Amino acid sequence: MTSLPFDVVTAILLIPICSAGLLALLPGYRLSALLNVLASLLTFLAALLLFTNRPEANQYVFIDDLNIVFIVLNTFVGFTTSVFSASYIAHELETGRLTPTYLRFYHAIYQVMMFGMNLALLSNNLGLMWVAVELATLSTVIMVGIYRTHEALEAAWKYFILGSVGIALALFGTILVYMAARPVVGEGIDAMVWTVVIERVAKFDPALLNVAFIFLLLGYGTKVGLAPLHAWLPDAHAEGPTPISAVLSGLLLNVALYAVLRFKMLLAANPDAINPGPLMITMGLTSLVFAAFMLYRRRDIKRMFAYSSIEHMGIIAFAFGMGGPLANFAGLLHMTMHSLTKSAIFFAVGHIAQVKGTQKIADIRGLTESHPVLGWGLVLGVVAIAGMPPLGIFMSEFLVVSSTFAREPLLAIPLVLGLLVAFGALFLRLGGIAFGPPTGSLAPVQASYVPMFAHLTLVCIAGVYLPAPLVVWFQHVAHLLG
């Protein structure tokens, strides 16, 4: 590995937080939007350097193959969302939905949110990871309520209250892990350092670890959006700015899942602790089946895709709960494909809602005729997220189902049922939205299509070809996860 004249991890953390301070002072929209994009791009480029320059771990941050997956995905989608956000938010300014003051606030908080998520993914200290997840949560709460309407403020408060309950449970679970570590590691910061704890966890009290994981799964599971802890997620998607919907579905849910996986690895390394797999399988299947049926009842297009996020996070939790090389590989691939696809869908939905002036599905018709680029982009996104071949999500879902049939055939029944129900719901809605006589405004939309089609292109390529280095990397991470 080559050495650089600066610390890559420091750059990944300092770029967004320093940019946030500068953005809070800048008055002009165009300049602040450009700086937001530039900061996100520099953070992504710094994350890519982790492949060739991996700094040594310390008490606060560390790098391994697992968090590189998450940090590269996080910074990439953060960058493309900032590009989409520039054109989306410009329209909100023109229509008066956001004032210049709130726009300045919006860009600053966007970078704070990216800093919080990056810090959570890089943290070597379990307590610091908890603080970072809380920071990311609070920043997204502020963004959800930024329109200051009654509905937006209600959604933000609901998100804040349920998120606070979840983070309190996660804090209690983290404290229990510290209590289990203290007799073996000793008092002090070392009992919270993940790289120290994972080496000596085999000697920890398994009873404390068992109780801790239950609290941690419930706490961070609230952030993942797993049923029945999902109630905040549809409202947050529906009432907040669409770029935040893309970040919530594509990034923040993954960050909370990452925390769950770290603690799952701790339990797996203790021979007397419970197997965390069945708990994750149960919550994953519950989320999948519940969200699949709920898709039929949605009347708001952003709420519909919010429930689709719950469905797919259920699939991912199920895959990691099954464990083993194939299921873990499938979970990693599905997480990556879902982040790219769902954010692309929200890029399309954001501009569709702007040009049509509504999020009601009944009032959005014939998009492929009235706005062909947006309409066909949405069609491709829905085809991908529904798991149609030969796209990337089909490949990951095929691997999840294959692994389940091979190891637990009975579990494959509710798994496949949920996938089929969700498939039917999405295509039932897509027919009216995309085809037929157009309704509503036919005015052209000023949009940046590059982020949407960049994501969809990657998803299409992944369905037919995965580079050998990526496969080897994911296989190694799958082995780490057990």
Confidence tier at 441 by pLDDT (50, 70, 90): low
Longest alpha-carbon distance in the chain: 70
Looking at beta carbons, which pairs linking 267-274 to residues 24 or more positions away fall under 8 Å?
A: 267/209, 267/210, 267/213, 268/323, 268/482, 269/198, 269/201, 269/202, 270/201, 270/202, 270/204, 270/206, 270/209, 271/202, 272/206, 273/206, 273/209, 273/210, 273/213, 274/206, 274/210, 274/213
Q: 193, 195, 213, 367: which is closest to 279 by C-alpha?
A: 213
pTM of the predicted structure, to 2 decimals: 0.93
Q: 304, 310, 322: which is closest to 405 by C-alpha?
A: 322
Low-confidence winner among 1-10, 215-224, 404-413 (lowest mean pLDDT): 1-10
Q: Which residues are registered as beta bridge partners of 193? A: 125
pLDDT in tens, 102-161: 777 888 999 999 999 999 999 999 999 999 999 999 998 888 888 888 888 888 888 888
Q: What is the pLDDT of residue 439?
A: 76
> What's the DSSP call for residue 252?
I
Mean pLDDT of the chain: 88
Phi-psi region of 199 (alpha: psi -120 to 50; beta: other; left: phi over 0): alpha
Whether the Cβ atoms of residue 229 and residue 60 lie closer than 8 Å to each other: no
Whether the Cβ atoms of residue 91 and residue 354 lie closer than 8 Å to each other: yes
Whether the Cβ atoms of residue 433 and residue 301 lie closer than 8 Å to each other: yes
Range among 21-30, 96-105, 218-227 rated most confident: 218-227
Q: Which residues are registered as beta bridge partners of 61? A: 123
The residues spanned by each domain of the chain are 275-482
Q: What is the pLDDT of residue 229?
A: 82
Answer whether residue 2 shows pLDDT above 50. no
CA–CA distance from 159 to each of 144, 156, 435 (Å)? 9, 5, 35
Answer whether residue 217 shows pLDDT above 90. yes
Answer whether residue 1 shows pLDDT above 70. no
Confidence tier at 15 by pLDDT (50, 70, 90): very high
Q: How far apart are CA 346 and CA 328, in angstroms?
A: 27
List, in order, residues 6 or more apart from 145 with CB less than 8 Å away.
Answer: 152, 153, 155, 156, 157, 239, 240
Answer whether residue 321 shows pLDDT above 50. yes
Low-confidence winner among 39-43, 396-400, 426-430 (lowest mean pLDDT): 426-430
- Tell me which amino acid residue 265 is: M
Please give the structure tokens belonging to residue 5.
């004249």
List, in order, residues 6 or more apart from 474 with CB less than 8 Å away.
Answer: 69, 329, 332, 333
CA–CA distance from 260 to each of 22, 176, 295, 449 (Å)? 34, 15, 26, 34
CB atoms within 10 A of CB 38: 14
> What's the DSSP call for residue 51?
G
The 3-state DSSP composition of the chain as helix, strand, coil percent (nearest 5) reads 80, 0, 20
Helix extents (H) in 269-324: 277-294, 301-322
Q: How far apart are CA 204 and CA 178, in angstroms?
A: 10
- Using DSSP's 3-state secondary structure scheme, residue 168 falls into helix
Whether the Cβ atoms of residue 338 and residue 406 lie closer than 8 Å to each other: no
Q: What is the pLDDT of residue 423?
A: 92
Q: What is the pLDDT of residue 5?
A: 41
Whether the Cβ atoms of residue 297 and residue 429 lie closer than 8 Å to each other: no
Answer whether residue 163 shows pLDDT above 60. yes
Whether the Cβ atoms of residue 312 and residue 319 lie closer than 8 Å to each other: no
pLDDT in tens, 265-314: 999 888 888 889 999 999 999 999 999 999 988 888 888 999 999 999 99
pLDDT in tens, 382-419: 999 998 888 889 999 999 999 999 898 999 999 999 99
Whether the Cβ atoms of residue 436 and residue 365 lie closer than 8 Å to each other: yes
Q: How far apart are CA 62 and CA 472, in angstroms?
A: 21
Q: How far apart are CA 206 and CA 346, in angstroms?
A: 43
- Using DSSP's 3-state secondary structure scheme, residue 193 falls into strand
pLDDT in tens, 194-206: 999 999 989 988 9
Q: Length of the chain, please?
A: 482
Q: How far apart are CA 48 and CA 273, in angstroms?
A: 36
Q: What is the pLDDT of residue 252?
A: 85
Q: What is the pLDDT of residue 117?
A: 94
Q: Within 13 Å and on the Cβ side, how many CA atoms surround 323?
A: 15
Q: How far apart are CA 481 and CA 459, in angstroms?
A: 24
Answer whether residue 443 shows pLDDT above 60. yes
Q: What is the pLDDT of residue 96?
A: 66
List, in order, residues 6 or more apart from 163 with CB less than 8 Å away.
Answer: 137, 141, 222, 223, 232
Tracing tokens 């009032």 back to the chain, one arrives at 363
